[in-house]
Homo-oligomer: A and B are copies of this chain.
Amino acid sequence: MPNDMDLSHFRPGQLLARGVCRHLAALGFATVEELVPRSGLRVDVMALGPKDEIWIVECKSSRADFMGDAKWQGYLEWCDRYFWAVDTDFPADLLPEGTGLIVGDAYDAEVLRMPDPTRLAGARRRVMMRKFAVHAARRLQALRDPGVRLAGQ
């Protein structure tokens, strides 16, 4: 059974990201994990929606994990909607107003609060679409063909 695969090598944030990606897939989004929008930033989940909307989800496995994140506001300019994903034990009051909230685990997740939308400019949206496409394709190729050498890597 796929749900019985060994998850022991996943970090807590990655388990949450897995459940988030499952839920977003069910909503018709395509997702990638650990995408780098620019040097120094790495988003946990980037999702591309049916209308080309771009969502970013940062997965926080604990209060300490959230409190130690000094970068999250830097993600806002790269997406139409920004979400936190946490587990049911997380103190959701900590999360800043106006941001979205997804609660989940390794197996599924649910959007509990939609964030204030912004609207990416067309040029930025195209840049993100390209980054998403290249990231996904290169990761896929590396999994299918471990012998490949990717340019610039």
Q: Is the CB of A32 within 8 A of B137?
A: yes
The reply to whether the CB of A134 lies closer than 8 angstroms to some CB of chain B is yes
Q: Mark A88-132, 1 if CB is under 8 A from B, else 0.
A: 000000000000000000010000000000000000001001101
- Interface core residue of A143, A149, A151 (most chain B CB under 10 Å): A151
Q: Is the CB of B141 within 8 A of A48?
A: no
User: How near does chain B come to A16, taking the closest CB pair, in angstroms?
Assistant: 13
Q: Which of B5, B136, B149 is within 8 Å of A22, CB to CB? A: B149
Residue ID in chain B nearest A48 by CB atoms: B133
Cβ contacts under 8 Å, A138 to chain B: 25, 30
Q: So how many copies of this chain end up in the complex?
A: 2
Q: Give the complex CA separation of A140 and B48 in angstroms.
A: 14
* Known pairs A25-B150, A26-B149, A129-B129 / 18 extra A-B pairs, C-beta < 8 Å: A1-B147, A2-B145, A2-B146, A2-B147, A2-B148, A21-B141, A21-B145, A22-B145, A22-B149, A25-B138, A31-B137, A32-B137, A32-B140, A48-B134, A129-B133, A136-B136, A140-B140, A143-B144
